[in-house]
Amino acid sequence: MRNILYVLVFLLLISSCSYKPLYKKNAIFSKYEINISIKSKGKFENNVNLMESILNQRLKHKSSAPSNLKLVISIDRSISDLGVNKDLFTFGKMLIYDINFSFYDKKGLLTSGKLTGKTTYNIGKNTYANIVSKEDASKKLISSLSKNLSDIITAMDFKRTISP
């Protein structure tokens, strides 16, 4: 009798899990391929390639069928001065990326929006260190923005049905 009671308590504990996901995965993105095109005014290191590879990893699947789903992204970068640091040998710079995106299906525009990211880096006397510092800050910011963009696209609840 005790064994049956233990089994019932154990089954009750397992079946009463309170975890529920905040959003369900949209099956449309795992079935159909999303064509990604990224445009930028200037050549900003390898940011276009980095963003495209991250979005491909997160939005495309091996078993995806070709479709008319299209994600168009525009990258704009601006750099501004922050001033002289306390050590009087380095200068602070602010790097700002504005990413405008539009998501289309066969019927037309599904959604569009804008993401903005800001980061800072230091400039000193060493030119190689300046280049590395700027590229590192840029790479980290683009990586963060592309992950945010893929999360926004996959979790979005569209007002009309998607027709791939």
Locate 43 and state its tokens: 């050549």
CB 44 within 8 A of CB 134: no
Per-residue confidence (pLDDT) for residue 59, from 0 to 100: 83
Q: What is the CATH number of domain 26-155?
A: 3.30.160.150
Residue type, 155: A
CB 159 within 8 A of CB 116: no
- Sheet of strand 91-104: strand arrangement: 32-40, 65-84, 91-104, 109-123
Q: What is the pTM of this model?
A: 0.76
Integer angstrom CA distances of residue 69 from 21, 96, 120, 145, 146? 26, 29, 35, 21, 18
> pLDDT tens digits for 25-39?
555 666 778 889 998
Q: Give ∠ CA 6-12-17 in degrees, rounded to 5.
A: 140
Per-residue confidence (pLDDT) for residue 20, from 0 to 100: 61
Per-residue confidence (pLDDT) for residue 138, from 0 to 100: 92
Q: Inform me whether the pLDDT recorded for 100 exceeds 90.
A: yes
- Name the band, by pLDDT with cuts 50, 70 and 90, for residue 16: low
For tokens 């750099």, the residue is: 79
> pLDDT tens digits for 110-145?
889 999 999 999 898 888 988 999 999 999 999 999
